Structure 1
Amino acid sequence: MDSNDSAHVIVVGGGYGGITVAKALDDVADVTVIEPRDTFVHHVAALRAVVDPDWIERIFLPYDHLLTRGRFVRDRAVRVDGTRVELASGGTLGGAHVVVATGVGYPYPAKIDGTDRAAAQARLRATHDELAAADRVLLLGAGPVGLEFAGEIAAAWPTKEVIVADPSPALLPGRYPEEFRAEVHRQLDELGVRLLLGTTVAQPPTSPGRAGRFSVAGVDADIWFRCHGTGPRTSLPVDAYLRVRDRPGQWAVGDVTDVPELKMARLAQAHAEVVAANIRTLLTKGAWTEDDLTTHEPAPDMLVLPLGPKGGAGYGPGFGLLGAAQTAEAKGADLFLGYYRALLNLD
C-alpha cells in the first residue's frame, strides 16, 4: 500500500449517495462517514411501509457491514469549511477530501424524521393505524410522491376515498410524453383516486398524518398528508467533475448539488460513482490531468412511478414507456430493497 492509500476521506451523510461513495473508496482511503441516524433508511420504500406494516422493520438497514477499513461517526455536521468538518458534539475532523452528501428534507412520511430507529418505527406504526381508520384521505401535492402515495393507499384499501389536490393544472410537469401521463391517469382512475388538478387547497386545521374530520375547499376528509416541498438546503455549485467550485478538496453528490436534473436516489448514486472515481484517480495516480477525471452529464427526465405493488408507469428516453406489469417488475414489488441490502453487505 503506498502513502496515498491512507489519505483520509470524510463523507458527510449516510444516505444513498453517501454510502455509495464510501463503499467505493473503502479499499484506497481511510473513509469516515458522518451520519446522525443509527441506521440507513431506505426512503424509496417509506410510503409502502406506511400502508404495509410488514415493511416497517425492513426499511431500516444497519451500517455495520458496509465498510471494511472505514468507520462511522454518529454525529451531525454543523459546518463544512473546505476539508474540515465541525460536529454538533464539538469536535472537528479534517481530511484530504470531503464529500458532502447531506440530501434534502421532505415532508414525512416520504422522508422519516428523527435519528433513532425505534422511535421512527413507532411513528410509522402509529401513522399506519391512523390511516387505516380513515375513510377519506387528502394528499396535497400531485407530484411523484403524492401520486405514489395515492397508489399505495388505494391498492391497500380499495374502499377508501383518496383525493389528490395540486394547484398545477398538469399532471407530472416535466419532459415526459403525453402517453406517459395518460397511462398514469388511466391507472389512477382504475384505482378510484380522485384528482383535483388546478385546485389550491388550504392546509387543513388538523395535523398532517393524524386522524380528524375536516372540510376545506369543498373537500371532506378524515386525514391528510403534505406531499410537496423540500426542506431548507444549500445548493452547492459544482463543476462537471462534481467538485464544489472554489473549495479545493470538497465534492458534492445528490440533492445538495446545483446540477439541473431531478432529485432522486439513483442520481445521487450516479454522482457518487463519479466522485469516487475521481478521488480514486487523485489518490492513486502519480501524475494526472483533468482528462483523467470522470465527468457527470445532467440526466434527462426519467421516472418509474409505482402505483401500488402491482401497478405503475414509467418513462425514460433509454427505455420508452413502461406499463403496469413492467413497472411492477422493475420496481413495484421489491422497491429495490434487495439491491440496497447487497450494497450494505447484509446478504
Structure 2
Amino acid sequence: MSQKVVIVGAGPGGGSIVARTLSAKLPTAQITLINPLPYAISRPTLPRMTVSDGNNLIETALIPFDKLFTSPNGTFVQGVVESIRADKKGGLVVLTDGQQFAYDVLVLAPGSIWEGPLEFPTDAKAVPAFVDASRAKFKKAQKIVLVGGGAVGVEYAGEIKDIWPGKEVTIVHGDAGIMNSTYSASFRKGLEKGLGARGINLILNDYVDEIPAPGPTTVTTRRGHVIDADLVISARGPRPRTEFIAKSLGADSLDERNQIKVKPTLQLSEHPDIFAVGDAINTVEQKQVMKASAHAALVAGNIVAYLAGKSLKEYKGSSEIIVVTNGKNGGRAYFGILWGITLGDWFARLVKSKTLLVSLSRGSMGY
C-alpha cells in the first residue's frame, strides 16, 4: 500500500514547496495538498495588487496548482480543514464539506490571519470583487492612516505614493523606529528617511486601538494624537491560523502566541508523524516567505527520512535578510551578517521593487 502524505495549506513558500518536492522524491506515495483557494497567493505582491489597478498581478500572482506536481502522484483538493483526527500512527484530516483524507504523514502549513486588504476571502469567486473594492477605497481616500510600521505598512505607503503622490499618508507604529529591533538602526533610519522624502508622516511609539470604517473620521491614538482620515488600514502583524489545530490536537500543541510548537526537526512533540512549516510555527525568527521555504526544504527531506526509518535533520535557522520596497523604484535591504549590511534603493529596485519576485514564486510552482 502506498504511503499517504497530506499537506494542509499551500503558500508558495511553504506547503506548495513541500508538495512539489515530495512529488519528485516519493513517486510511489500519494501526495494530497489541501487549500481553501484554487491557487497560492504570492503575498509580497499584495500591497501593490490591492492599491492599484495598473498591473496584472491578479492574473500573475495568484498561482494555480496545475503545474505544481512533477509526478502523477500529487492531487490538489480545494477545501477548508475542520479537524484532524490523530491516532498513535497516522490519522485523518476532515474538511468542512465532510471529505476525509487519511495520512501516514501530515504537514501543517496553515499560514496566518491578516486584517484589511491582506485577508483575502476563502471563496475564489469573491476575490476579484474584494480586490476591486480595496483599490476603490484607496483611490477615493485623500487622507490615509496605516496602522503598523513593519514591512507591510512601509510597502503600502510606498505603493500609495507611487500612484497618488499628493495624498496624505500617515504611519502609526508602536516601536521607537520603523520595523523592529531585529534590524540595525541604520537600516531602520534609512527606511524612515526614504519615507520622509516622499512626504509620508510617521508617528512612532504610539498605537491605534480600533480600525474605523472607511469614510471621514478622526483617529485618536493611545497617546492622544488626533489624525484626520478617510481611510484607516490595518498593517499590523498577523495571527497564526491555528484554531483548528488547538481544537483537534489540544491547546498544548500551541504556545502562548497560538503558534504551533515544534521540535528542531519541525515535528510536533506528541505527534512525530506531523510536521509544520511557515508563519504559524514557533521558531524564533522573523516570519517571511524565505524562512518558510527553508522550513519546507528541511521538512520534505525529513519526511523522506522518516518514512524510510532514518534519522532526521534539525532546523538551525538562518540569517535575517529582508528587502522592503518603497514603491516600484525604491526601498532598502538588510543582511544580518557581519556587522549588518544595508543596501539602498538601487538594490531594492533590482531584486524586488519592480517585479515583487513574481517570476520566482511562479517558478517555484512549475511555471
> Taking structure 2 as the reference length, what is the TM-score of the superposition?
0.86
1:10 to 1, 6, 22: 6
Query: What count of residue pairs does the alignment treat as equivalent?
Result: 332
Residues 120, 130 of structure 2: 8 Å contact kept: no
1:153 corresponds to 2:140: no
- Is the contact between residue 121 and residue 130 of structure 2 (CA under 8 Å) also seen in structure 1? no
**Residue of structure 1 equivalent to 2:317:** 298
Q: Shift in Å at residue 113 of structure 1? A: 2.7
Other-structure match for 1:213: 216
Deviation of 1:337 (Å): 0.5
TM-score (norm 1): 0.90
Change (3 A) 1:130 1:181: same
CA shift in 2, pair 1:167/1:174, >3 Å = closer
The 8 Å contact of residues 34 and 77 in structure 2, kept in 1 or not, is answered as: yes
Unaligned runs of 5+ in 1: none
Contact 1:261 / 1:300 at 8 angstroms: preserved in 2?
Answer: no
Alignment-mate amino acid for residue 32 of structure 1: T
Q: Which residue is 2:361 aligned to?
A: 340
Query: 2-side partners of 1:222 and 1:143: how far apart?
Result: 22
Q: What is the aligned-residue identity percentage?
A: 29
Counterpart in 2 of 1:73? 77
Match of 1:94 among 82, 85, 102: 102
Pairing of 1:42-81 with structure 2 (within 5 A): 42-53=42-53, 54=55, 55-67=57-69, 68-69=71-72, 70-81=74-85
Question: Deviation at 1:229?
Answer: 4.1
SS of the residue 1:250 aligns to:
strand
Corresponding residue number in structure 2 for 1:107: 115
Q: What does residue 349 of structure 2 align with? A: 328
Do the aligned residues in 1 keep the contact of 2:5 with 2:30 (CA within 8 Å)?
A: yes
Q: Where does the alignment leave 5 or more consecutive residues of structure 2 unmatched?
A: 221-225, 243-257
Residue number in structure 2 paired with 1:249: 273
Specify the SS of the correspondent of 2:60. Answer: coil
SS in 2 for 1:138: strand
Kindly indicate whether the alpha-carbon contact (under 8 Å) linking 1:202 and 1:216 is maintained by their aligned counterparts in 2: no
Q: Assess, with a 3 A threshold, how the Cα gap between structure 1 residues 166 and 270 changes in structure 2: closer, same or farther.
A: same
- Say which of 335, 348, 352 aligns to 1:316: 335
Bigger shift: 50-59 or 190-199? 50-59
2:247 alignment counterpart: none
CA-based RMSD: 1.8
Cα deviations by residue, 1:84-141 (Å, 9 ceiling, x for unpaired): 212111232111110001111111323423231x421221112112211221111111
Q: Aligned with 1:188: secondary structure?
A: helix
Q: Is the 8 A contact 1:78 1:86 kept in 2?
A: yes
* Residue in structure 1 matched with residue 249 of structure 2 by the alignment: none
SS in 1 for 2:118: coil
Displacement of 1:204: 4.9
More strand by share: 2
